[in-house]
Amino acid sequence: MEPDQPLEILYEDNHVLVVKKPAGILSQADDTGKPDLLTLLKNDIKRRYQKPGAVFLGLVHRLDQPVSGLMVFARTSKAASRLSEQVRTHQLGKQYLAVVQGYPAPMAGRLEDHLEKNRQTNLVRVVEAGKGQQAFLDYEVVATDPERQCSLVHITLGTGRSHQIRVQFASRGWPLLGDQRYGPAAYVDRQKNKVQMDLALFAYRLTFKHPTRDELLDFSINPPDTPPWSYFRATLKP
């Protein structure tokens, strides 16, 4: 994301802010000093509203650095507390689209694993029951591309573990396209056509109860029309 590139804010009021996170930037600052969405949003709010002091903005969930899509931030401490509770009790709905190598079988189902993260390497792996953290998600194959031997998959996240979607699919032989950590170093279509692609994981839908109103908010957007999403242009049309 370029420093002067505008942020794509879908919704904002006094309590919440819903934004599209670009691929390649952090959700929250770490010790690398790379750009992060939380800081960019704080600076944007400070500029737009000419706030003289520090800006409060609560991070209630994250997306991995290479993942793009919808995120919600809290603009008050009350909203942060209530949204965090929705995350904890799985009431904040997160749905994703992914393009995976191969053809998941069955065409729809639930993936359940125990995952363990190596803090030194920042890599996650599937471990035996009784170790790590329990993780599950539901998926459905929406379309397949026999020419490129890949599938478009719809995912409803049950638990939000680190790298969960990437690890669960890769462990079954269906790595996400463009995944430099858990997939092949180069995808065959990229080798043939020299296609450069980001990680094929997109947080396309977000649902949650407004923290101060009895109202369910529901947001959805399409992934970019670039490879590998463009392989499924007909399926993903608005």
Catalytic residues: 64
Give CA–CA dist 112/114, Å, rounded: 7
232 vs 236: CA distance, rounded Å: 6
Q: Is 46 in contact with 36 (CB distance < 8 Å)?
A: no
The residue ranges of DSSP E strands in the chain, in sequence order, are 8-12, 16-21, 58-59, 68-74, 93-101, 108-118, 123-127, 133-145, 150-157, 201-209, 216-220
Residues 6+ apart with CB under 8 A from 228: 99, 148, 150, 177, 178, 189, 195, 197, 200
